[in-house]
A and B are shown apart, each in its own frame.
Chain A
Amino acid sequence: MAKPKLKEHLINRDWCKGCGICVELCPKNVLELDNENKAVAARPVDCICCKMCELRCPDLAIEVITEDDK
């Protein structure tokens, strides 16, 4: 199976509460909290699309969209 290719991180800023779970548990250190304490994809090129941030987000606020996703 080909490696999934990242299209974008969809982050719902109204739902994100800035708990930092996605930031601290990302295996590739892709995400950061910005000055409003919301998650942002600071280094999207490093993303391996494991989607652990999406699966672990307590606020359903982040989605990892890959090229394969319709």
Chain B
Amino acid sequence: MAIKDYIRERFFPHLWCSGCGHGMVLNALLRAIEALDIHKSDIVMVSGIGCSSRISGYVDFHTMHTIHGRALAFATGVKMSRPELNLIVPMGDGDALAIGGNHFIHTARRNIDMTAIIMNNRIYGMTGGQYSPLSGFGTMATTAPYSNIDHDFDVVELAKAAGASFVARSTTYHVQQLTNILKAAILHKGFSAVEVLSQCPEYFGRKNKMGTPADMLEYYKENTTTIGSKKKQENPDLLERGIFVQNDIPEYCSEYDKIIEQAKKTSGGKTK
């Protein structure tokens, strides 16, 4: 199948701004799914609120556009009732880690089989450029006109600490790596957290004088490196890209099935 077979062409051109990284995440995700040859009826995409969450409207899978920060909770419900389906949950940085922070850590802790994509553009784009938990110290935003004094989360460290069994990071510049990581994340049996640095040229870029969308992509190229590279040793400020964690630990739905089996045995198949 061509990637165009996975989208709802009637909604294109999409509403994302010119040069928005979220379109590039969509592009990479469609290529990953095409390469894995998953039928579109076997995928459920659940999203919350924000620029990033509009992605669920453009893909021709089963899609749910739910409430702010709670996409993972809805996705957990879907997965528990239909464990055979592939769950993909794209979220923005604010959606995933501000209002949805608790859902994020607890879904990671449970290790339920789904792929969370954190599309990190370091800003609340849809509502006008307010700083987010990932904007970082010293950045500018419409709500931080004298620069932001909040420190940011490291999504990878947070996901690792919360117990996610698959943790990875890539950027929209590195589209081929991103596609490969998304493929591995979708195939992984357990909770996969993939952080994607995705440029927002309209708000984050403009407020922080980062230039054109292509300049922002060059920034990702210059300020990231592969995990454990020599460049990282020479310059510890570089952000690492790649798969940080890939552990085989018991998955929530499989364990739940075992509990059902056990309960049936002890009650002799009878319900009181």
Contact = CB atoms under 8 A, between A and B. Distances in A.
Nearest to B221: A25
A24 B212 contact: yes
B3 A17 contact: no
A58 B15 CA distance: 11
A24 B31 CA distance: 22
A17 B28 CA distance: 18
Contact of B12 (A19, A20, A23, A60): A60
Interface string B208-225: 000011100100000000
B19 interface: yes
B26 A60 contact: yes
Interface string A18-34: 11110111000000000
A67 interface: no
A41 B271 CA distance: 70
A8 interface: no
A55 B201 CA distance: 19
Contacts of A25: 214, 217
Contact of A58 (B22, B30, B176, B212): B22
Interface string B150-177: 0000000000000000000000100110
Contacts of A24: 212, 214
Interface in B14-37: 14, 16-24, 26-28, 30-31
Nearest to B28: A55
Contacts of A60: 3-4, 7, 12, 23, 26-27, 30
B270 to A, nearest CB: 55
A59 B214 contact: no
A48 to B, nearest CB: 16
Interface residues of A, number: 18
**Interface class of chain B by DSSP:** helix
Interface residues of B, number: 29
Nearest to A61: B13
Interface string A47-67: 000001001111111000000
A18 B175 CA distance: 19
A57 B12 CA distance: 14
A25 B216 CA distance: 11
Nearest to B216: A21
A29 to B, nearest CB: 13
> Closest 3 A-B residue pairs measured CB to CB?
A58-B23, A19-B19, A24-B214
Interface of A: 14-15, 17-21, 23-25, 52, 55-61
13 contacts: A17-B18, A18-B18, A19-B19, A19-B201, A19-B212, A21-B217, A25-B214, A56-B24, A56-B175, A57-B27, A58-B20, A59-B12, A59-B13
